[in-house]
Amino acid sequence: MANFGTWLHTRRKGRLVGKDADGRSYYESTGPARQGGGVERPERWVIYLKGEDASAVPPEWWGWLHHTLDAPIPAEERKPWQLPYQPNMTGTAQAYRPPGSLYSTGQHPPATGDYEAWTPDA
Q: What pLDDT does residue 122 have? A: 65
pTM above 0.85, yes or no: no
Q: Which of 59-63, 76-80, 101-105 has the highest mean pLDDT?
A: 59-63
Domain parsing of the chain, residue ranges:
4-77
Q: Point out which residues pair with 47 in neighbouring strands.
A: 25
- CA gyration radius, the chain: 23
